[in-house]
Amino acid sequence: MRGAAALALGLLAACAADRPRAPDAAPPLVLRTVPAGDSLRLVLDAAPGWRINARVKPVLESADGTLLRFDATGLTPDSAYFAEPPVAVVSARARNPIRGTLRASVCAAGEAVCRVVRLEVGGKR
C-alpha cells in the first residue's frame, strides 16, 4: 500500500480472573499508527461504548522515562472526555522503537466509573 500503512491487528484475549470473563469485557482501547510525512501518528481509539478521560491525558511511558502524551482538540461539551481519538506524534526517522507502557483513564458508557487501562507496547521498525 503506497503512502499509507496497512494495519493488521491480531487480538488474543485471555482471562486471568477468578470467575468467567464477562461477555463485554473486551479491551477498551486500540493503538494504531498512521504515517504522516516525516512523522508517525499514534492514534488511540476507544472501543465502541468507551470514552477516554481528557482530564488526565493518555501517556506512553518509555523505559527511559520519556513521556509521550496523547491529546486532541475535540472534547465532549463537558470537557471531560475526548470527542475524537487522541493522538501522539513521533518522528518516523526515530531510531528507537515504540516501546513502553501506555496508560489511559477510560469510562464505559452506562457505568459511571473510571478505570485505568495499561497497555504494554513493544515494537520494532
Partner 1 sequence: MPKTALLAVLSLALAGSAAGALETAARAAAQARVPLLESPRSGPRPAPSWRNTSWLNADGPITLESLRGRVVLLNFWVFTCYNCTNTVPSLVDFDSKYRDQGLTVIGIHTPEFPPYAGEHDKANVVRALEKYHIAYPVAQDNDDRTWNLYGIRYWPSFVLIDRKGRIRYEGAGEFHVGDADYRLWEGRIRELLAER
Under the rule (CB under 8 A), what is the footprint of partner 1? 1-19, 21-22, 24-33, 35, 40, 53, 55-56, 59, 61, 67, 78, 80-81, 92, 97-98, 102-103, 105, 107-108, 111-125
Closer to partner 1 by Cβ: residue 84 or 116: 116
H/E stretch holding 91: strand 87-91
Report how far residue 86's alpha carbon sits from residue 74's, in angstroms, rounded to the nearest whole number: 9
Closer to partner 1 by Cβ: residue 56 or 84: 56
Paired residues of 107 in beta bridges: 51, 114
Is the distance from CB of 66 to CB of 90 less than 8 angstroms? no
Shortest spacing between CB 100 and partner 1, in angstroms? 10
Shortest spacing between CB 10 and partner 1, in angstroms? 4
Shortest spacing between CB 21 and partner 1, in angstroms? 6
Closer to partner 1 by Cβ: residue 16 or 48: 16
Report how far residue 8's alpha carbon sits from residue 25's, in angstroms, rounded to the nearest whole number: 22
Closer to partner 1 by Cβ: residue 25 or 63: 25
Amino acid, res. 57: K
Exposed e or buried b per residue across 23-32, where buried means at least 16 C-beta atoms within 10 angstroms of its C-beta: eeeeebbebe
Shortest spacing between CB 47 and partner 1, in angstroms? 10
